[in-house]
Amino acid sequence: MEAENQTVLSHFLLLGLSEDPDLQPVLFGLFLFMYLVTVLGNLLIILAVNSDPHLHTPMYFFLSNLSLTDICFISTTVPKMLVNIQAHSKEISYTECLSQMYFYNIFLGVDNFLVTLMAFDRFVAICHPLNYTVIMNPRLCVLLVLLSWLIMFWIALIQNLLMKRLTFSMGTEIPHFFCELAQLLKVAGSDALINNIFTYVACALLGVFPMTGILFSYSQIVSSLMRMSSIESKYKAFSTCGSHLCVVSLFYGTGFGVYLSSSVTHSSQASSVASVMYTVVTPMLNPFIYSLRNRDVKGVLGRLVSRAASCR
């Protein structure tokens, strides 16, 4: 029985986005391009923030952390997918699968918290400008980021420990390009009621509280803007929120889109294709949103490019 269980839990089969052999080179090239663009774009944001003293503010501190998390987030899924396509293999070991799910959940949750913290930062900057430096002091900013990591570390750890109690059949197929929690629970061979309850509670808490925080922050921001008499002041204040609003819309819009599409179509392939939006496309677009809509970041990136060109 022990030997059988060891064989059963040795590996899973990731079915990927398509089983068509002709599409594999296209998928490999497309995802490799998106991965490289994501890593390069987010590294440039981190470099820009750390290299310019004018960007050493809470807003850009959270932005650099978001960029770092996005790099880690996309690195949990895409490299393994690329390796499998190149090796013409669908296998992922049991340990690799749980590790991928663990880090994926951590980075997704931290992304969620960072987007919320950035909304809180804009709320304090616009609604309490005189107390901004006192409230958003470096110690508080670091503490909030560390708390986000700590919360997600424990939630992901509990989720993985609960997952280890489940059994799976030999050669279990996962209709996805990575080990997503929802898909693993669907293919489990034993009762996953406790796992599902914990997942629903965790998703509800991690969804409701951050979303409530963002909505509250922007409701207060809009209220403050309405009280401003100068149109120029309104535009200047709201322009600092433009990039963040785009990221929030992209992050939550694609996330809700995935779960709505999966609940409507009940197609695993449609769900996995839709999930590409928030696992790959969103981390790739975030640097462009902040660099194209933010004059400070554009200025620093321009100086970095000029400096690199002059060194040649």
- pLDDT computed for residue 1 by the predictor: 36
Domain limits at 298? 2-311
Write the CB contacts of 185 (distance below 8 Å, at least 6 apart in sequence). 166, 192, 195, 196, 199
Give the mean pLDDT of the chain.
84
Q: What is the pLDDT of residues 119-156, one digit of tens each?
A: 999 999 888 888 999 999 999 999 999 999 999 999 99
Is the distance from CB of 132 to CB of 124 less than 8 angstroms?
A: yes
Give me the number of domains the chain comprises.
Answer: 1
Q: What is the pLDDT of residues 190-207, one digit of tens each?
A: 888 898 899 889 988 888
Q: How confident is the model at residue 78 (pLDDT cuts 50, 70, 90)?
A: very high
pLDDT of 5 strictly over 50: no
Cα–Cα dist 274/257, whole Å: 7
Sign, CA torsion 200/252/99/267? positive
The CATH number for 191's domain is 1.20.1070.10
Q: Are β-strands 173-174 and 11-14 bridged in parallel, bridged antiparallel, or unpaired?
A: parallel
SS3 state at 140:
helix
Which strand ranges, in their side-by-side order, compose the sheet holding 91-93? 91-93, 11-14, 173-174
Cα–Cα dist 265/261, whole Å: 6
**Torsions phi, psi for 66 (to 5 deg):** -65, -40
Quick one: which of 259, 248, 246 has its CA closest to 288?
Answer: 246
- pLDDT computed for residue 26 by the predictor: 92
**Torsions phi, psi for 293 (to 5 deg):** -100, -5
- pLDDT computed for residue 8 by the predictor: 46
- pLDDT computed for residue 6 by the predictor: 40
Cα–Cα dist 71/88, whole Å: 25
Is the distance from CB of 56 to CB of 121 less than 8 angstroms?
A: no
- pLDDT computed for residue 257 by the predictor: 65
pLDDT of 247 strictly over 80: yes
**In sequence order, what are the beta bridge partners of 63?**
none
pLDDT of 163 strictly over 80: yes
Q: Which two tokens stand for residue 226?
A: 């309405």
Least confident of 112-116, 136-140, 227-231: 227-231
- pTM, 2 dp: 0.88
Q: How confident is the model at residue 66 (pLDDT cuts 50, 70, 90)?
A: very high
- pLDDT computed for residue 3 by the predictor: 40
Cα–Cα dist 232/166, whole Å: 59
pLDDT of 261 strictly over 70: no
pLDDT of 293 strictly over 80: no
- pLDDT computed for residue 188 by the predictor: 85
